[in-house]
Structure 1
Amino acid sequence: MKVAAVGDGPWLDDAAGRLVRPFTVSNGRTRPTVALDLMSQVMATGATPLGYLGPEHDQALELCRGPVSVAEAAAHLKLPAVVTKVLLSDLVDCGALTTKSPEFHHNPTDRALLEAVLDGLRRQL
């Protein structure tokens, strides 16, 4: 088992993966300053954030060059959704990201829609 040295970049363990706990990425914060839904779309504005936010913020900003949902961002960053929401809200607060709430053309609790989603998921398994 190989553990990277402190100066070798992110702390990774071949078997365990990331050694830095997710709550340290968000400085222990669990609530974003901006209301973000998992399906909210975020996109880079082109503005450069002032000051240093962190490597995860840089990764999130790079990922958001085109519109991406919060759920997609969390998956790509390999971070819990709540941590991703905090990171993205930091970037919205400094003007580097813009957000758009999801627009439903259908009622999201429509039984027929939910059954269609369930049928699609069953076919994938």
Structure 2
Amino acid sequence: MPADPLRLAHDWLDHDAGPVVRPYAVTQGRVAPAGGEIDMMAFVVATAPEHHRGVRLQPEHHAIVAAAWQPIPVVELASTLDLSVGVVRVLLGDLRSAGLISMYEPPAASQPHDVDVLKAVVNGLRAL
């Protein structure tokens, strides 16, 4: 029995889920963001829309900028866009390099943990 030509032309399309694109295709094979690491708890804010001129963006980049007009943490952005945190970090690196977003890392995320506090938590858990 010959294969359905319409089916062969659209094997990449899942009618329930929409177009299926692998994460490595979205990030063009990159696994690390440009410009250094991005903390999961960092806040992302889009900059002024007039800076978009001359910059070629993928649909995922546009979705990130649209979702980041209000400060939003990286993990919530990933959840909102239904993308993995790793993919979002790579795309955020692109946008940060292009000057289309700014990032704010909470002070607690950038400082090392206090060992005494961690020991007190462990001792409290053991006491339970």
Q: Same fold (TM over 0.5)?
A: yes
State the AA in 2 paired with 1:66.
Answer: Q
CA contact (8 A) 1:45 1:95 kept: yes
Calculate percent identity across the aligned residue pairs: 31
1:31 lines up with 2:32 in the alignment: yes
Structure holding more helix per residue: 2
CA contact (8 A) 1:57 1:87 kept: yes
TM-score, normalized by length of structure 2?
A: 0.70
Q: Which has the larger radius of gyration?
A: 2
Q: What residue is the counterpart of 2:87 in the other structure?
A: 83
Q: Distance in 2 between matches of 1:113 and 1:38?
A: 25
Stretch deviating more after TM superposition (56-65 or 100-109):
100-109
Alpha carbons of 1:49 and 1:17: their partners in 2 closer, same or farther (altered >3 Å)?
same
CA contact (8 A) 2:55 2:98 kept: no
Q: Distance in 2 between matches of 1:60 and 1:112?
A: 39
1:100 lines up with 2:104 in the alignment: yes
In structure 1, runs of 5+ residues without a counterpart are: 116-125
Q: What residue is the counterpart of 1:74 in the other structure?
A: 78
Q: Distance in 2 between matches of 1:114 and 1:62?
A: 40
CA contact (8 A) 1:42 1:67 kept: yes
Pairing of 1:1-125 with structure 2 (within 5 A): 11-14=13-16, 19-34=20-35, 35-46=37-48, 47-48=51-52, 50-104=54-108, 108=113, 110-111=117-118
Q: Distance in 2 between matches of 1:17 and 1:25?
A: 15
State the AA in 2 paired with 1:95.
Answer: G
Q: Helix, strand or coil for the counterpart of 1:74?
A: helix
Q: What residue is the counterpart of 1:122 in the other structure?
A: none
In structure 2, runs of 5+ residues without a counterpart are: 1-6, 123-128
